[in-house]
Amino acid sequence: MGGRAVVVGGGIGGLAAAIGLHRTGWEVTVLERAAALDDAGAGISLAANGIRALDALGVGRAVRDAAHRQYTGGTRTPDGSWLARMDGAALERAVGIPMTGIPRAELHRLLREALPASCLRTGVGALSAGDAADLLVAADGVRSGIRAELFPQHPGPVHSGSTVLRAITAEPVVLDTDFELTWGPGAEFGHIAFADGRAEWHAVLASPPGVRHADALSFLRARFGAWHHPVPALLAATRPEDVLHHDTYELVTPVPSYAVGRVALLGDAAHAMTPNLGQGACQALEDAVVLAAELAAGPSVEAALSRYDAVRRPRASGVARAARRAGRLGHRLSHPAAVAARNAALRLAPSGATIRALLTHASWTPPPLP
Ligand code: FAD
């Protein structure tokens, strides 16, 4: 099957969908509202399922070459003591592919390069679900206008209770580990090392939406300055103008369907989740491969989209629920007794427990694309 497909949204999900459709014979146009195609974020972790999806789309090799493999790290407390160590090599043995970290701009560029430039149109938005095409893919993000039009009763995104400040360092930083998460009361600080020696860091704070700081970096240096190495070093290696600040939103009420007629919802438009498991983009990449595979199996767009919904909705909503639970156990805990109980449980957990938890989401085999 093929035809004319319009993908609304040129984020990771929309570009991946366009690659899958283009490879399987569709004439694809990606419409992106923003003036330039990019990804407003710092860095991203991709687990094995995300990399396998990229493999199926033909861009896995390029992403692996640009990414940094994450072998060492784990979860700590602000004084630096370890709650759980992550054995990245054991994870790689179990699932075949290590976790990887890559700047978002780099991932986005590699996805763009897998498409003919003529597919991509920027500065074009406000498409509606009724617009003519054989297939419309709504990859327009957490605030999807197409989702709101298809499901006017759906309550839409809900603030997660947290705000995230993040950046990529301006220069290389000496790090002892590839990735870390540190949980203090009501706050998390983490890093992902990149192949070029720089790193992404993020600070998550339990916070109502809309709280902003005149000088975010000074605020963070005061808030996290006494935390263990490398937290202060990462902040010291960052330029004030590089700090991004976003409140995080999720779809707590699942959408009734990822498919309505010839319209497919994909990525955050379908299942925006909290970032606690680092799975949002990985799930968007899975969506893209399944969408292309089901459409290739025919016999009609409607039948293929109905199977896409049946495959993807249980999987992505399960991961979203797990991400929400993980958030409640992490930085959202602030009562000292609850923090102490969580920390004791993590220290006592058998060493394979973290790997088993990650494997639940990372173990995924893409359907073959023709
Ligand atoms: P988006 O990236 O939001 O793209 C939607 C696009 O649609 C935008 O470019 C927007 O401009 C465009 N658009 C909107 N409306 C219109 C319109 N009407 N017309 C045209 N264009 C339109 N995931 C991971 O897998 N690993 C991680 O480590 C990870 N870390 C994260 C850390 C944080 C702090 C956050 C917030 C998220 C994280 N995620 C992670 C999740 C991941 O970022 C998202 O799930 C993913 O980027 C969603 O991609 P998308 O293409 O669906 O949506």
Per-residue pLDDT of the chain (370 residues; tens, 9 = 90+): 789 999 999 999 999 999 999 999 999 999 999 988 877 679 999 999 999 999 999 999 999 999 999 999 999 999 999 998 888 888 888 889 999 999 999 999 999 999 999 999 999 876 665 566 899 999 999 999 999 999 999 999 999 999 999 999 999 999 999 999 999 988 999 999 999 999 999 999 999 999 999 999 999 999 999 999 999 999 999 999 999 999 999 999 999 999 999 999 999 999 999 998 999 999 999 999 999 999 999 999 999 999 999 999 999 999 999 999 888 777 777 787 777 877 777 777 766 666 667 678 899 999 999 9
How would you classify residue 232: left for phi > 0, otherwise alpha for psi between -120 and 50, otherwise beta?
alpha
Query: How far apart are the C-alpha atoms of 178 and 192, rounded to whole Å?
Result: 6
237 within domain boundaries? no
Instruction: Give nearest CA residue, ligand 1 atom 15.
Output: 140
Q: What are phi and psi of 262, to 5 degrees?
A: -100, 15
Q: CATH code at 123?
A: 3.50.50.60
17 within domain boundaries? yes
Q: Is 12 in the pocket of ligand 1 (CB under 6 A)?
A: yes
Structure tokens at 234: 């990462």
State whether the Cα torsion 341-347-348-350 is positive or negative. positive
State whether the Cα torsion 160-163-168-172 is positive or negative. negative
332 CA → ligand 1 middle, Å: 23
Expressed as residue numbers, the domain containing 126 is 4-69+98-158+250-329
Q: Is 45 in the pocket of ligand 1 (CB under 6 A)?
A: yes
Residue 244 burial (C-beta neighbours within 10 Å; 0-12, 13-18, 19+): middle
Q: Is 101 in the pocket of ligand 1 (CB under 6 A)?
A: no
Give the CA radius of gyration of the chain: 20
With beta carbons less than 8 A apart as the criterion, state whether 98 and 70 touch. yes
Residue 224 burial (C-beta neighbours within 10 Å; 0-12, 13-18, 19+): buried
Does the reported pTM lie above 0.85?
yes
239 within domain boundaries? no
Q: Number of structural domains, the chain?
A: 1
> Which residues does residue 250 pair with via DSSP β-bridges, in sequence order?
158
176 within domain boundaries? no
